[in-house]
Amino acid sequence: MTLTKKLVLGGILLSLVPFLTMGILSTSRTSDALKAIAENRALVTAQGLSEMVHVAIMEELNMLKEITVGNTTIDVGTTVAREGTASVQDEVQKLSRKLISAKKNVGHNYEVIFVTDNSGTIYADSEGGTCRGMSIGERPYFKSAKNGKPTIGNVILSQKTGKPVVPLCGPIFSESGEVVGTVTVVLKTDFFVEQIKKIKIGETGYAFMADEDGNITAHPKQELILKLNIKTLQGMKSIAEAMSAKQTGVQNYLYEGMDKIAGYAPVEATGWSIAVTQPVKEFMSPVYAIQNMMILSGSIFLVIITALIILFGRSISKPITNAISGLNEGSEQVAAASSQVSAASQQLAEGSSQQAASIEETSSALEEMSSMTKQNAENAVRAQQLVAISSEDIGEANHSMKTLTHSMMEISKTSEETQKIIRTIDEIAFQTNLLALNAAVEAARAGEAGAGFAVVADEVRNLAMRAAEAAKSTSGIIEDTIKRVKEGSQLLVKANDAFAKVETGAQKIGELIGEISAASTEQAQGIEQVNRAVGEMDKVIQQNAANAEESASASEELNAQAEQMREFVKGLAALVGATHDNGRRSEKSSLQKHSQKIPSLSKVKSIVPGEKNAGKQKYSNISPLRSQQIIPLDEKSFEEF
């Protein structure tokens, strides 16, 4: 990865981390705050609506009570209960007129007011007798009111208008306290529905009311009233159960694939519950807007940061690229210095020719030494035979030592097994202590009835048996170890015998070496002649060594510097994304030009004795001298060179 890319990547990471952290924290806190506000607003609105409906219902119940306690109502009801309606037609007509008057006084909120006897048959109404003779005896609200308790019925559809209505039914008590009939006020729910329709939360939030069975009794959509049951909707089961249980709270639910929240509160004295709902995405829209704004601003910020970092990276990499070019030029200068080293190698080749001439003089001395060498060779043969015999003895001793080594390895393995068994015994002893402790605890708890102690004691006995088996195994292994040690001792005795034989052979070899020593004395005379020739060679060799040392040191130093320079150039080029191939090609071509001017050392010949006559000369190739074989110069000597 280039320097510019590293700077871009690092800058992006350093910029994004705080930006993303700030964005996530801000959106999270904003989301929580908006959700809390929306939930509180929905709950407060639902509670306000339920209180309003409760107050309205209580006012209607008070109106109903005024009718039921009226003297005319009580007198007519008592007479009808005792004698029937035929004997009190005038009183019934009078009661009907009062009902008509009461309906007019309360306005259009009432659909009808009627009075029934104890069987539920209507004998007076506010509609001019149109309801007379009808029976509500099977209605639940009538049965409840007949028992002496004012009752609010369920919301139903009016048979007359087809609109939702709710019956309020109260008992008529005689002067003796007996129930002699009921008064029913059929209240229109238009008032409730209109009030609920007026509630708007946000853009699309609304309120609705449901009875204890889950039926919608008030809703902005008229077609859903008494047509939709929220208990049957998959995403609203939880909130429907809470509303039916007359609970107050806030819940999330799913309606028509939309995530919503609703605050709900019960209407006291009824089985109804009012909920105020709003889509989550609606009150969370500011959060979404903040997120989109942060994404947009973050993208713009990222583009700007990337551009600035790229410009900054280029301002750094450009000087480095120029430095790489300079290093490439330096490589060419190193190549020129290598040509000077090659010139020194030519001098070394000339010195090698002089050395070959001196070697010719040594050939005659080597002829005189050949006869002595034959005698030494014969003695060497005899010595070789004795050495062969000694080798067999040594081989046998070696085999014994190998066997001994193997036995010692077995002993080591056996010792390892012993250690394992000892560890097992230690573990069992530890567990035995624990079980003993448990047994003591059980015995202390049980008191006299120590039933639990028996179980723990049995486990202790099992562990004791395992310890005995491990001890037995340890005994067997130790016996086997002793046996193997004895075998090792016997093998050591054999090894000592073998080495004694080797000592005898060595004595014989010593005698032969004495004879070889005498022959070597005669060879010394011939070596003196060789030394004189070698003395003449020393001068040339010293000169060659000096030249070779200087040239090799220079070559080694130049090669090391060139290699190091190439590594530096390669690393810098990889870092800034540049290339140094051109510099390497120019360096290579320069070296090739210099190397073409220098003759190969392989063309230099040396003189070696090929026959008895020393005057005859024959040449063979000399191996090129490698600079790694010579001690290099230090920096100061290289500068002088």
DSSP letters, 303-328, are HHHHHHHHHHHHHHHHHHHHHHHHHH
For helices 71-83 and 89-106, what crossing angle results, to 10°? 140
Give the pLDDT mean for 352-378: 64
Domain count of the fold of the chain: 3
Query: Do the Cβ atoms of 172 and 183 come closer than 8 Å?
Result: yes
Mean pLDDT over each residue of the chain, to the nearest integer: 75
Can you give the C-alpha Rg of the chain in angstroms? 60
Indicate whether 110 pLDDT > 70.
Answer: yes
Helix (H, G, I), strand (E, B) or coil at 137: coil
Return d(Cα 603, Cα 195) in angstroms, integer: 119
Indicate whether 435 pLDDT > 80.
Answer: no
Domain boundary among 283, 311, 338: 283
Q: Which among 270, 47, 73, 52 is positioned nearest to 167, based on CA atoms? A: 270
Percent of the chain with pLDDT over 90: 24
Query: Could you tell me which residues are beta bridge partners of residue 201?
Result: 205
Check residue 256 and give its pLDDT: 87
Q: Where are the alpha helices (DSSP H) in 447-580?
A: 451-576
Percent of the chain with pLDDT over 70: 59
Give the pLDDT mean for 182-200: 88
pLDDT in tens, 500-556: 676 676 667 666 766 766 666 676 566 666 566 656 766 666 776 666 667 767 767
Query: Do the Cβ atoms of 211 and 284 come closer than 8 Å?
Result: no
pLDDT in tens, 368-383: 665 676 666 677 667 6
Give the pLDDT mean for 313-341: 67
Query: Do the Cβ atoms of 345 and 552 come closer than 8 Å?
Result: no
Same domain, 431 and 506: yes
Same domain, 246 and 361: no
Q: Which among 296, 270, 68, 9 is positioned nearest to 152, based on CA atoms? A: 270
Q: Which domain holds residue 49?
A: 19-53+193-283
Check residue 30 and give its pLDDT: 73
Q: Which among 320, 299, 312 is positioned nearest to 4, based on CA atoms? A: 312
Check residue 621 and give its pLDDT: 47
Handedness of CA 64, 65, 71, 76 (dihedral sign): positive
**E-assigned strands of 189-335?**
206-210, 216-218, 249-255, 258-266, 273-279
pTM comes to 0.47
Q: Which two tokens stand for residue 443?
A: 């015995």
Run of H or E including 27? helix 3-68
Same domain, 182 and 223: no
Query: Do the Cβ atoms of 217 and 244 come closer than 8 Å?
Result: no
Give the pLDDT mean for 578-585: 52
10 burial type by CB count under 10 A (0-12 exposed, 13-18 middle, 19+ buried): exposed
| CATH code, domain with 276 | 3.30.450.20
Distances (CA, A) of 246 to 39, 50, 184, 214, 420: 18, 11, 26, 12, 73
Q: Is 326 a member of any domain?
A: no
Same domain, 243 and 162: no
Indicate whether 573 pLDDT > 60.
Answer: yes
pLDDT confidence band for 168 (50 / 70 / 90): very high
Check residue 473 and give its pLDDT: 77
Q: Is 596 a member of any domain?
A: no
Domain boundary among 188, 209, 232: 188
Same domain, 45 and 118: no
Domain boundary among 258, 283, 308: 283
Give the pLDDT mean for 227-249: 93
Return d(Cα 250, Cα 253) in angstroms, integer: 10
Q: Which two tokens stand for residue 373?
A: 């060498």
pLDDT confidence band for 125 (50 / 70 / 90): very high
Give the pLDDT mean for 211-231: 92
Check residue 195 and give its pLDDT: 83
Cα 142 to the center of its chain, rounded Å: 69
Same domain, 410 and 525: yes
Same domain, 407 and 542: yes
pLDDT in tens, 441-500: 777 777 777 667 767 777 776 776 777 677 677 767 767 776 776 676 667 667 666 666
pLDDT in tens, 269-313: 888 999 999 999 887 777 667 767 777 777 887 788 778 777 776
Query: Do the Cβ atoms of 251 and 261 come closer than 8 Å?
Result: yes
Cα 75 to the center of its chain, rounded Å: 87
Run of H or E including 168? strand 164-173
Amino acid at 492: L
Return d(Cα 114, Cα 183) in angstroms, integer: 6
Indicate whether 105 pLDDT > 70.
Answer: yes
Tell me which range, 39-53, 325-339, 351-365, is most confidently predicted by mean pLDDT: 39-53
Check residue 619 and give its pLDDT: 36
Q: Does 414 or 207 have the greater pLDDT score?
A: 207
Indicate whether 603 pLDDT > 60.
Answer: no
Query: Do the Cβ atoms of 96 and 131 come closer than 8 Å?
Result: no
pLDDT confidence band for 150 (50 / 70 / 90): very high
Indicate whether 206 pLDDT > 90.
Answer: yes
Check residue 519 and give its pLDDT: 66
Q: Is 141 a member of any domain?
A: yes
